[in-house]
Each structure stands twice: as structure tokens, then as C-alpha cells.
Structure 1
Amino acid sequence: MGAFLQLPVNNEKYGRILHITDTHLFANDNDKLLGINSNASFLSVIEEIDKRHEQYDLIVATGDFVQDGSKKAYQRFASQIKKFAIPCVWLAGNHDNFIYMQEVFNHYRLVENKVVLLGSKWLIVLLNSQVVGQAYGFLAPAELLFLKNTLERHSDRTALVFLHHNPITSSCSWLDQHILKNSDELEQIIENYPMIKGLGWGHIHQQQDLKWHNCTVFSTPSTCVQFKPNCVQFQLSNQDAPGWREITLNADGTLKTEVYRISNNRFLPDLSKNGY
């Protein structure tokens, strides 16, 4: 199930997490996803994060790193993330080649950690919802058992859980065909383990901020193209810029989270596209 990681925090009163997702990178710098140069938009996100001069304890990256399936695209992601000089944990999305991810990320020392103990108060758990060859998500029985066992083992901590696929509807019918198919089983765990105070995902290229059984749940925008909210059919958004999310974990078990987007957005999608 991967290695175990324990991290101090810069201030014991809280921990800070940078959440990045759905970069969809290419080996070729000229390639585009739905009209957007995703390599360039990712670099723009990294540059704006860097300019903020914020301190983070951990980066969580939740899948769909590459669009073309190439090792070089994974290398692009890892080489940029390493510039932050803080630990990065990651999980696979439906577009990812897990073998390539492991090989490249291990080379860059982005070790496969599925459990992080952050400071003395928080537990971070990463779940694999990837179904190879399918766009939808599913948490295998072993993955659900792993989550429950980890929560039991660290029952004195407050938990924040990440996966790739959305476990609740996105308000886009076409996207929700590719939802987490057994979200009811995850929901039961959230109900039975009130220590889970946060749940985050990517996949839908949109921002959501909701409550689910007294748990703060959220999706984070892609670093490239954004999907238009509240649509029955596939539609791209030319209003929402590429972005990221920052999460503050407090010692009292509460969390605060906010989405940021690049300014002066020059990454506009090709609205004539009807799928990808």
C-alpha cells in the first residue's frame, strides 16, 4: 500500500497543503488539450504559486498528470514540483499509466506515500480510485479496508482523505457518467468515522465546496482546461482560469480551504470541441 510518511509542520497550530490536480501534460511543448497548451498553463500555475511566497508542508497531487501517456510528460510534472523542495504525495487518475508514474516519480523522489501524519494532529490518506481502461472510478474492497484500518490505527487524529474521482454529483450529467461508482461505500465510512473532516478530489475540472455528512468536501480546478458547470452535454468554460487549492489544517480539527486561479488568463479553450 506504499510507504508511510511523517512530517512536522512549520507551526504546530496548523498545517498547510497545496492541492494540484489534472495537469494533462504532453511530451511535446506544442501539443494542446481542447485548444489549451496544458504544459504552458501548468507552468503559469507553478509560477503564480511561487510568487505568493506561501509556506506549505505538503503537496497533494490527485491524478491525470499526463494526456499523451509519455514518461517525458511525467518528468515535466516531477521536475517542476521538486522546485518547491517539500514532500509531494500523489495518486493515479483515469488518464494515468501507473507503472510509468511509479518509475518516473520514484526517480525524482516523489515517493508513493498513501498515509501522511502531518504534525501531531492530522492524518492524510490517499485512495486509488483508478479503473484501468475506464473513465469512471471505483474503490476496490482492499482500498476501502485500507482506509478503515488506517483510521482505526490513528484514531487519535483528524483525517483528510483524497481520491481522483468525484464521489458526489458534479451537476454535469455528462461528467457524472464517470463518477466514483461505489460512492455509497465511501459515504458509509464517512458516516461511521466522524474523524474524517475533509475529502478532496480532482477529475471534474471544476471547483466545488460542499458539506457531506458534516465533512467538508471539495474538488479543485485543473491546471489547464475547465469544464463548464451545470451542463447536460460536454461544454468548456472560457470564464474560469486554471487554478489550484490551498488547505489550512487547524489543531482543533477544523480546516479552511480556498481556490486560487492564475491572473491575466491567456489560456482560452476551443469552444467548438465536443469531447476528448
Structure 2
Amino acid sequence: MESFLTLPIINRNYSNILHITDTHLFANDQSKLLGIDSNASFQTVIREIENRNSPFDLIVATGDFVQDGSEQAYRLFAEQIQKFNLPCVWLAGNHDNYHDMQEIFADYQLAENKIVLLGNKWLLVLLNSQVVGQAYGFLPQSELEFLQRTLTIHNDRYAFVFLHHHAIESGCHWLDQHILKNKHELEEIIKHQPNIKGVAWGHIHQSLDYIWHGCKAFSTPSTCIQFMPKSYDFKLSYEAPGWREIKLAIDGSIQSKVYRIADNCFQPDMSQNGY
């Protein structure tokens, strides 16, 4: 039986979620990813979120926390997130070491709960799409059954699903080779579960929005490098690092907006053709 996190919502008719993804941090502050200091860009994102002073209830972090596989980089993420003094749930991306994440994030009280009961109306479900050693994603039968079971148990709530890998083609040929390989199985659940009102992911380092069988689906930009939309081959974008804020209303509606850092001094090395 999966443990769940229960968060009361007081004196508001909506819940507010901060979605952060694909930080790609290093142990060494001098290291760069495709020309961008991803440690510095992440910390800039955190400062700008703090300055906005939005009333968040929860942080959801959807993978690719580190680029170099180091424990120190995971600790950097946790130390920055602790500044918000908010619950944070997370799941692994294709670059992550799940075992290290479990041990290190537990030291910082970053919750491993895959079910969040948010107020009286909303259910959040986190799905692990990581395939160890591969860039693409896959939801094993155990994850699909977990989703179905959780939706059944909490059928009086609206549902929002988070995962790392994209479940809808991005339009980038090179990225779509690394999609959720059994996306059709998730799609079948969404088709037949009208309580699912939203699905969100990271992985593709760009912001895209869809209506998917009646629910809202979207990707959130990375806090470091961005990939050029609609590119056949690997190509970087000059768009700024960013994050997404998601409002879940008590009537089941969703409002969402992407924000990016205001003064983008983080320019990628456009000569690079992969990573």
C-alpha cells in the first residue's frame, strides 16, 4: 500500500503547485552543460520564484536533478528547495540514480510519496517512468495498475498525474525517440478516467500545452538549457530557464503559466550537437 501525503488547503478555493524539472546540477560550480552554468541558472530560478512570493502549497520536481551523478549535486538541489519551507515530492528522470535520491532527499525531508491528497478536492499521482540506462521512458504494469487502483480508491477527487517523460510527441524528431514508449497505455487510462484533469512532465526542456482527451497536458521548461521546438535534429534554444505554476481549483479547473528568469545571462553553446 502506497503511503500518501495529505495537505490541507485553508481559506483559498484553489491549490497552488510549483513545478520544477530538469535541473542537471553538478558537484562542481565551475562545470557547465552545453555552455550553461546549470548550478547558477537553477539558483537564479529559485531566487526569482522567491521574489514572486506566490502562496505555494507544494513543490513537484520531476527528474533529471543531476548531470554528473554526484551526491553533492543532489544535496545542492535539496538545500535550495528547503528555502521555501514547503513539502516537495519528486520522481526520477533518466539521468538520475534513484537509490542516491532516496537516501539523500530523506536527509532533507523531501517526501517520496507518490500520492498527494491536496485539500478536499484533488489527488496528485506521481508515476515512475525511468528505465535505468536508457533515455526513453516506460511505465511498467505495476505503475499502470498503481494509477488505476489509486484513481479507484479516490474516485471522489479530481486527479492530476506527473511523470518525467513526455507522453505526447513534441514535434522534435530527435527528442521523440526518447518518449514514453508505452504512452498508448497511459492514454487509454486517461480516455476512460474523466476525473483525470491534468498531466504534466519535464524531459523535453521546453514548454508545450495540449488538450488530451479532455484533460490539460503540458511540459515544463528546464531550469537550465532549453531545446529548440519543432527541430528534427538536436538543437538548442536561446529561451531562458524557467518553471511552471499550476493552480488547481475546487471546481476541477486548472490554470497554468510558465515563468522564465527576467534577465537571461545564461546563453548556450549553439555549436553543440548533442549531450
Establish whether residue 141 from structure 1 lines up as the match of residue 113 from structure 2: no
**Aligned residue for 2:193?**
193
Q: Over aligned residue pairs, what C-alpha RMSD do you find?
A: 0.7
Q: Partners in 2 of 1:256 and 1:148 — Cα distance?
A: 25
Preserved CA contact (<8 Å) 1:12 1:251? no
Q: CA deviation at 1:2?
A: 5.0
**Aligned residue for 1:101?**
101
Q: Partners in 2 of 1:158 and 1:23 — Cα distance?
A: 29
Q: Which amino acid aligns with 2:265?
A: R
SS in 1 for 2:78: helix
**Aligned residue for 2:273?**
274
**Aligned residue for 1:226?**
226
Q: Which amino acid aligns with 1:53?
A: N
Q: CA deviation at 1:9?
A: 1.4
Q: CA deviation at 1:12?
A: 4.1
Establish whether residue 264 from structure 1 lines up as the match of residue 263 from structure 2: yes
Deviations 1:210-264 (A, max 9, x none): 10001100000000000000100000001x1000000000000011000000011
Establish whether residue 255 from structure 1 lines up as the match of residue 247 from structure 2: no
Q: Are residues 101 and 2 of structure 1, via their aligned partners in 2, closer, same or farther at CA, if it must alter by over 3 Å?
A: farther
Q: Partners in 2 of 1:189 and 1:12 — Cα distance?
A: 30
**Aligned residue for 2:68?**
68
Aligned length: 275
**Aligned residue for 2:130?**
130
Deviations 1:161-208 (A, max 9, x none): 000000010010000000000000000000110100000000000000
Q: Partners in 2 of 1:183 and 1:93 — Cα distance?
A: 16
Preserved CA contact (<8 Å) 1:241 1:267? yes
Preserved CA contact (<8 Å) 1:243 1:260? yes
Q: CA deviation at 1:3?
A: 2.7
Establish whether residue 169 from structure 1 lines up as the match of residue 161 from structure 2: no
SS in 2 for 1:19: strand
**Aligned residue for 1:41?**
41
Q: Which amino acid aligns with 1:242?
A: P
Gaps of 5+ in 2: none
Preserved CA contact (<8 Å) 1:246 1:258? yes
SS in 2 for 1:117: strand
Q: Which amino acid aligns with 1:245?
A: R
Q: Partners in 2 of 1:34 and 1:25 — Cα distance?
A: 12
Q: Partners in 1 of 2:236 and 2:215 — Cα distance?
A: 29
Q: Which amino acid aligns with 1:246?
A: E
SS in 2 for 1:178: coil
Gaps of 5+ in 1: none
**Aligned residue for 2:203?**
203
Q: Partners in 2 of 1:148 and 1:32 — Cα distance?
A: 41
Q: Partners in 1 of 2:11 and 2:134 — Cα distance?
A: 42
Extract structure 1 runs of 4+ deviating beyond 6 A. none
Q: Partners in 2 of 1:153 and 1:264 — Cα distance?
A: 46
Q: CA deviation at 1:111?
A: 1.9
Deviations 1:54-76 (A, max 9, x none): 11000000000000000000000
SS in 2 for 1:174: helix
SS in 2 for 1:203: coil
Establish whether residue 55 from structure 1 lines up as the match of residue 55 from structure 2: yes
Q: Partners in 1 of 2:97 and 2:49 — Cα distance?
A: 27
Deviations 1:76-125 (A, max 9, x none): 00000011001000000000000110010001010201000000000000
Q: Which amino acid aligns with 2:221?
A: P
Q: Partners in 2 of 1:136 and 1:203 — Cα distance?
A: 10
Q: Which amino acid aligns with 1:206?
A: Q
Preserved CA contact (<8 Å) 1:174 1:233? yes
Q: Partners in 1 of 2:47 and 2:82 — Cα distance?
A: 13
